[in-house]
Structure 1
């Protein structure tokens, strides 16, 4: 067991962390003027999170397309998801200090008439989709280990893991609403929508292959 964990760390986690560090360094060098610490961590962790989560959703359909074994859980798919989920939690936690320092509730409500009202608009929708997305991330990170796989049994564990799909939709929606709030639609067109469409197409192909096998 110990050797297996060390092998995963060496083969999976170290390459992903090195790639993430290279991305962060490149981002820091290219962004002019350099960002302060909190925006820098918020942006980079957000981009890394959505990238790794998208990759984790492509592996299953890719196995089916290539006619490889596609078990309920594989360490590589699980580890990529763990890294993506961890970056998502970092993004959400540090992002609370981007605005309203010391008053994080104002991300979700706004002061109105001596009281509070639910914050709507693109900014409010971005925050709520992000909140629900990170809550699902916490669930998925909690059960992404051999202990819960054995405790819950394969079918129940897999059903819970399927919350990955609505979570990814929430993450994409969160990213899009934030770009709309900032009146910057470039990444919506060139990153978020293409990424979502690629994942959707691969998932639909995977579903089609599974249905074809049952016929």
Structure 2
């Protein structure tokens, strides 16, 4: 596992010990950042079910200003902290050991919105549709933002959820990616 591009390009990342998390492969990360644009000039990102923090750190390396990492696994939280420090990006990160739903409710209270949201829940406890509904209902995604879901290829996500519209989807072996944006922004999808 490594950072693919940006200011931390080539930096190796530590995986979460054990088999409780499934890291996003370099191929999947390349696809994600090809879809959403390779580099950013600022912005805020939410990495829910962050695991080792690899996807959020990739976003920071490519120009995001802030990433909020959330995971309910204590080993994952320690791994994220280690990887963030190894990349020297501590001042651009918030790291929370929390359940996804409670974390989203806490974010709503802070009146935050994100340019980019990554959702990668455990495949066996899939609740992407509910999370997408919560994000849409609470307006956590900026009008110009996007949501990337990583999931089991057998999971079929709806074409629309409220104002969110599925604009891209691809499968890579044991994993699939699905991208959502606001419906009215479809013409500007990257």
- Asked if TM exceeds 0.5, the reply is no
Relative to total residues, which structure has the larger helix share, 1 or 2? Answer: 1
Higher RCO, 1 vs 2 (CA within 8 Å, ≥6 residues apart): 1
Query: TM-score, structure 2 length as denominator?
Result: 0.25
